[in-house]
Chains A and B, each alone.
Chain A
Amino acid sequence: EAGVAQSPRYKIIEKRQSVAFWCNPISGHATLYWYQQILGQGPKLLIQFQNNGVVDDSQLPKDRFSAERLKGVDSTLKIQPAKLEDSAVYLCASSLVERDSGELFFGEGSRLTVL
């Protein structure tokens, strides 16, 4: 079974530029999550999708961050314009709602450096 795929793995941009990250979840997983992991901290949820609908985006800085999940499969997370404090690893995860434990499966992440 293929895991969660993310790209790009690394991205360096200057502040005020824009960037987009892509995620392909495990086949059949209806729920998709984007997390932000700042160095030295635990992952923090940005947005959760159920199929192509948003379940929770309460911690997404909507003035600069946006995300979509067209057709309920792949997802894209965009930052525009980027700030220095957006430097972090952006993690995508997916899960099967039907599983009792609700285990999340994570991709390897996209590391963003904002200069």
Chain B
Amino acid sequence: GNSVTQMEGPVTLSEEAFLTINCTYTATGYPSLFWYVQYPGEGLQLLLKATKADDKGSNKGFEATYRKETTSFHLEKGSVQVSDSAVYFCAFHNQAGTALIFGKGTTLSVSS
């Protein structure tokens, strides 16, 4: 069935370190892929997205590339900041207008 697998957290990094959060998915057809972020005390908000194979989504220094051959959508950032501390969720849906399927989330903690 449809599912998302994210790397287990928490991930603890020092400021300016390189970040990778792995995400793989199991889906039918050609899903659209998303990363959502949940800052402490706030709601889920879209971080970036990619709608077709080889697309790269980017926002706020974060990037993720839609890899259909490996069914992956890993999140990366070259230099994290303390303000990036949050929970990151990988998600997808098989077509617009359908519900998103989420991974369990990965908690990132960045210290100065």
Minimum Cβ distance to chain B for residue A89 (Å) = 9
Interface residue range, chain B: 20 to 34
Interface residue range, chain A: 20 to 34
With an 8 A cutoff between CB atoms, is A115 at the interface?
Answer: no
Chain A residues positioned under 8 Å from B93 (CB to CB): 102
Q: How many A-B residue pairs have CB under 8 A?
A: 63
Chain B residues positioned under 8 Å from A99 (CB to CB): 96
Q: With A40-B104, A42-B89, A42-B104 in contact, do A106 and B97 touch (Cβ < 8 Å)?
A: no
Chain A residues positioned under 8 Å from B102 (CB to CB): 42-44
CA distance A106 to B89 in the complex (A): 13
Binding site for B on A (CB under 8 A): 4, 31, 33, 40-45, 48, 50, 56, 91, 93, 95, 97-109
A-B residue pairs in contact (CB < 8 Å), sample of 18: A31-B97, A40-B104, A40-B105, A41-B105, A42-B89, A42-B91, A43-B100, A91-B44, A95-B96, A97-B97, A98-B96, A101-B51, A103-B34, A105-B46, A106-B36, A106-B43, A106-B44, A108-B43
